[in-house]
Structure 1
């Protein structure tokens, strides 16, 4: 039909081209080729103006929603462990007007506690409505906000708090008692801690001279008429809005300095790729708000009148770990239309659904696979398969509430298999984006109509992309079939550098036109239609004994497609002539294979059994050969790790990127064993 034809032509048209006509770029989106968009919100060039305009437009509509906790139960597991399960009620909503007044009270309360304009306030807290209310209060009163991931280690948080010298910190009772209490004596400048929840904190064991307040009491203080009457000096577009600490895959965390105009530019670029964003949408929020992708997504939703319902990875769906069996997860109650995701979460959903399919009867399973393969063919040709959607996939869609119309994935590369799976089973496009904290989360995002996989789309309308030759790695803009090189991103969304860090020179530069650029360290390839594909990372390159270069990231991305592998870290030492790997195997699949081979024992014993290492190596070899990895790139030995890698273990960052140094130290004796040392 005409709709499909329109989709097909949109999908094949050129999305970006080079402004210089040269293969290294800069490449710009064809929709805004003449000049980069700096503002989609005329005159709304700071975050507080953006929110105030939304309050005028959407006044008594829902803005932020949180589910009521009815009760908590302990559920004993067969293994003897006890899991905490929540019983949650409906979403309770604050309207734009209500959020507006608590934001004013919070800002006024902080000022009454001695917080000065242009001085920083820190926030170290889980994703919840109070995080966003605190952030909006800081934007309104021009207190730059210093953010830390809730899973950052206490040493890293102490380092950041000392480096910025903050006096006021917003946190939760849980984080205060489990993460901060031990290091508070090392943070002498901290004077006030504001806890966002209702739980009483006993003041025992805290350094003298440190005041602990509840968020409610700070708001009460702020609502007093003489405090509210104080004049508020609004921020300028060039004022600092956020100092965002990134966990960094190496060494100390770095604070990225983000000004108001960086954020309005970056969000303009993001929102242009989300067609029809507005009050009819509902966004489900569960990723870390200290991550630039989540923070800008939520601020954009508030600007466009799209209500935000808060959730967490542990309560996202009916199957999630903290939801009591038989009760409803957040997606089922909220029925969101938009969600952001990291590949880790999408892979988990993919595996959950395939597990369910595996448990179906033979006939049901055959029908599912037929429908899946039929729709896959249709999607590749730019069509849909409405009958399959109704008969087969509506049940799968209900796992996320049944209304999701668009998913955005970022943070790490999404495997083609998982992207296709989401396209087909959830009947919604999965946009893949690429950006960094240093570029305000903006870089490239795929268009809704583009159904190719493995690419991250064309530059968004606020920035442009250049490829710089990296000769050592063998990447140049003369490469055939497509130009390749290190990705540089330029535009008004490029942040102001790292806080108190003199080595900005190598990462940031300003060109002859006065435009700021950031050098990403990622290697990209530009397709003829102007879309970017990430093919490598400068830091991941290792030269083997025989002189071949191996990109560890490329090997890992390829092998993540193995059904037996949940996660993988490839490792190579320059003194050796082969690659080895540490794998977190898929527990269900491996246990089943162990049963077939008569391997008995606990999960740990299954993982350390030599026969199981052989099974995984065999699959690695098959998959690697089918996707044409070079012989020297294929891991020759494997260690199976029974424990999964989560940010809490310190082996991956909050965006689930591998921390190579930590992984190497953690598995050192296994690495030495695989390289033949006793």
Structure 2
């Protein structure tokens, strides 16, 4: 995405002259010393090949053509042995870090709402040895409370060090860990707990008060609640037979001499490590059974694709640990001795919602080198930075745009731009701590514009990964030598991918110029299936003649000549209009979200109608500015409810659609502007910010009828 140049011609000429002179003087020594030739060679190499020669696959990386990688070295075939090995390699290395809370206060906003603000101190660290001993004690304490090996135990908690410690305790003692998102609603939580028949649950004080207390009568098997906070409150309204313990008291129980002598029941590679409940974007959450060997295969594949991981790296953990992407990322960090500093979306940066103005967010204190993000968060960063660029003076904005376009041209050739990085993008890079070297996006497709923007402004490799809970999050990851955008890379060394024809929509392995079809992932990282759901397992999983498990993703992809995969559609997101045209809703949303005016959008279409409609969360600052320009006055809610404003936004969307090369029938003809953002707490998006289409349809049912001419 080239930024529009609105620049004084003289300034433009001077800039290009300076750049030309600088390039001529420095190019040859820089080219020889930087290894750019070798990088360009790596960028051009074939990354995966069809094993059978068939254009639809299966595709494997050249190093895995004979056999897929199943795991790590012999003797490290379960998650507890992996952790023990890391503890022995890095015993005194800082491992898990949590910021000290110095103070909290309520801050009244202009709209009358009250936000809680915090001032945080430095990170306090636990070493690998301390984490290992804490997990061992906690596991023994759980056993003393009656938790049995191979009997399910649940964790319903925010991302924090205690979550990771509790998980390691369960892995050590062969307690299958049932994970539930902290933003799930009451019925979904009760469903997961009852389906897995848990008697013990690990949670936080806040979640116990806000979510669990209300549904305890609906979970009759529950006996023990372990609260990870140091000082849990008294709980007078507990059902009979339910007891609450603090995590510290359970660890003390596990440290008693009579409990220390008991040897844990160690897991086997095929034992269930996690029953991970999905975020429920299509209805009731499903529990995915993940074995120890599944997770180890997945993290082995991820490790191979992320370069130079070592104990010098620091990872910032803030995505839900109940999501396979975050859990796998933290396991990869553990394997290589990286520090993990915990955060949250509300405290991530200096400008985050819970950080008191003038104090520092987590990235500014931690200075991470590794980070994983979902596209929604990266899109927000992109739009926030571009808003600040618009507010710059004319000369500053002109220099930024010149530097941006110059760097975009250079990195597309595999060249670096150290001078631009130091002089122009240093302040932008500082938003994430200033030391990020790898930024990986997962959970949903990342738009090429956002990917290139993050790559340029944060001066690091920005890659995409593709995987699902059903494949341990592993499938593909782009490598650091791939300078393209909009693709998700080649299969990992633990996976192979084939494309299955979908006749109805015209996706075939014989399509030109690239083979297309439904993505099927096979390999040792493909999980054991859904918990207590035989019919769904038969629909989505199968075992081939060689005994290998496969998962049918429902996503549509195409393989490029170098073996890299691009996600182009999704079966469930494809709607056929009355006149027979197919509308890829996900593609429409991805293109229109590139507009600075749109923070989020859900495209919708009924098959008995001739056009698409949309629900839009506008960017407040941009929409108010547009309203002022058009002479539309009123409160935020009144502006969003204005039919005239809807027409203005539709025109902006039409312009974005032209740039994004959407077909005319793909562009929404009518929209509804939402004055409230969609967050996991509203129930309209998942924890990974994927749209919950069913819930959005219900929420906007009256608007759907209005836009389609109903009552």
Q: Deviations over 1:497-523 (max 9, x none)?
A: 000111110100000000000000000
- Aligned with residue 334 of structure 1, among 366, 374, 378: 366
Residue pairs, 1:516-595, within 5 angstroms:
516-595=549-628
Aligned partners of 1:321 and 1:17: how far apart in 2?
A: 46
Q: In structure 2, how many angstroms separate the alpha carbons of the residues matched to 1:626 and 1:102?
A: 55
Aligned equivalent of 2:52:
20
Q: Distance in 2 between matches of 1:228 and 1:77?
A: 52
Higher deviation after alignment, 614-623 or 411-420: 614-623
CA distance in 2, matches of 1:194, 1:41: 35
Unaligned runs of 5+ in 2: 1-30
Note if 1:674 corresponds to 2:704: no
Q: Report the equivalent of 1:350.
A: 382
**In structure 1, distance between residues paired with 2:345 and 2:281:** 22
- 2:23 is matched with none
Determine the C-alpha separation between the residues in 1 that align with 2:415 and 2:596. 28
Give the Å deviation of 1:265. 0.3
Give, in angstroms, the shift of residue 42 of structure 1: 3.5
Residue 550 of structure 1, CA deviation: 1.4
User: How far, CA to CA, are the matches of 2:550 and 2:420 in structure 1?
Assistant: 46
Alpha-carbon distance in structure 1 between the residues aligned to 2:500 and 2:432: 41
CA distance in 1, matches of 2:265, 2:219: 29
For 1:669 and 1:107, the matched residues in 2 are separated by 51
**In the alignment, which residue of structure 1 is the partner of 2:198?**
166
Give the match for residue 129 of structure 1.
161
Q: How far apart in 1 are the matches of 2:343 and 2:661?
A: 41
Q: 2:71 aligns with which of 39, 57, 79?
A: 39
Note if contact 2:509-2:516 (Cα within 8 Å) is conserved in structure 1.
Answer: yes
Question: Post-superposition shift, 1:33?
Answer: 2.1
User: Whole-Å Cα distance in 2 between the matches of residues 43 and 451 of structure 1?
Assistant: 38
- Find the aligned partners of 2:74 and 2:591 in 1 and give their Cα distance: 44
**2:255 is aligned with 1:219:** no
Check whether the contact 2:59–2:496 (CA below 8 A) recurs between aligned residues.
Answer: yes
C-alpha deviation, 1:198, in angstroms: 2.0
> 1:200-349 alignment to 2 at 5 Å?
200-349=232-381
- Between the aligned partners of 1:196 and 1:433, the Cα distance in structure 2 is 32
TM-score by length of 1: 0.99
- Which of 156, 173, 189 is the matching residue for 2:221? 189
Q: Which residue of 2 aligns with 1:636?
A: 669
Report SS of the residue matched to 2:424.
Answer: helix
State whether residues 283 and 694 of structure 2, in contact with CA within 8 Å, keep that contact through their aligned partners in structure 1. no
Alpha-carbon separation, structure 2, partners of 1:364 and 1:629: 33
Shift of 1:494: 0.3
SS of the equivalent of 1:472 reads: helix
Equivalence for 1:482: 514
Query: Is 2:131 the partner of 1:110?
Result: no
* Post-superposition CA distance 1:215-270 (Å, at most 9, x none): 00000000001101012121110111000000222221100000000000000000
The structural deviation recorded for 1:43 is 2.4
Matched positions, count: 678
Aligned partner of 1:367 among 399, 402, 408: 399
Aligned match of 1:508? 541
Offset of 1:572 from its aligned partner? 0.8
TM-score, with normalisation over the residues of structure 2?
0.94
Aligned-partner Cα distance in 2 for 1:82–1:7? 52
Runs ≥4 in structure 1, deviation > 4 angstroms?
Answer: none
What do the CA deviations read for 1:551-572 (whole angstroms, capped 9, x no partner)? Answer: 2112112211122111111111
User: Which residue of the other structure, out of 69, 74, 91, is the alignment partner of 2:101?
Assistant: 69
653-662 or 130-139: bigger deviation: 653-662
Identify the match of residue 658 of structure 1 among 691, 695, 700: 691
Q: Which of the residues 53, 68, 85 maps onto 2:117?
A: 85
In angstroms, what is the RMSD of aligned CA positions?
A: 1.0
Q: Quick check: 1:179 aligned with 2:216?
A: no
Give a deviation string over 1:634-653, Cα, whole Å, max 9, x none: 11111111111111111111
In terms of mean alpha carbon deviation, does 652-661 or 335-344 score higher? 652-661
Deviations 1:172-192 (A, max 9, x none): 010000001010001010000
Secondary structure at the counterpart of residue 324 of structure 1: coil
Q: Distance in 2 between matches of 1:557 and 1:140?
A: 42
Deviation of 1:41 after TM superposition, in Å, equals 3.5
Counterpart for residue 598 of structure 1: 631
SS in 2 for 1:622: helix
The CA distance in 1 between the partners of 2:133 and 2:693, in whole Å, is 46
- Partner of 1:665, secondary structure, is helix
- Aligned-residue offset at 1:105: 0.6
Structure 1 residues 304-343: Cα deviation after superposition (integer angstroms, max 9, x where no partner)? 1001000000000101010110101000100000000001
Q: How does 1:417-496 map to 2 (within 5 A)?
A: 417-496=449-528
Alignment pair present for 1:8 and 2:43: no
Q: Secondary structure at the match of 2:649?
A: helix
Distance, in Å, in 1 between the alignment partners of 2:477 and 2:73 is 20
Deviation at 1:449, TM superposition (A): 1.2
Tell me the distance in 2 between the aligned counterparts of 1:380 and 1:637: 38
Offset at residue 623 of structure 1 (A): 1.7
1:193 aligns to what SS in structure 2? strand
C-alpha distance in 2 between matches for 1:460 and 1:332: 33
- CA drift of 1:73 comes to 1.2
Following the alignment from structure 1 to structure 2, what is the Cα–Cα distance between the partners of residues 236 and 668?
49
Q: Residues of 2 paired with 1:352 and 1:189: CA distance?
A: 47
Between 1:574-583 and 1:378-387, the stretch displaced more is: 378-387
Mapped to 2, the partners of 1:418 and 1:405 lie a distance apart of 17
For residues 579 and 102 of structure 2, the distance between their equivalents in structure 1, rounded to whole angstroms, comes to 63
- Counterpart secondary structure, 2:685: coil
Task: State whether residues 205 and 227 of structure 2, in contact with CA within 8 Å, keep that contact through their aligned partners in structure 1.
Answer: yes
- 2:27 counterpart residue number: none
Q: Secondary structure at the match of 1:534?
A: strand
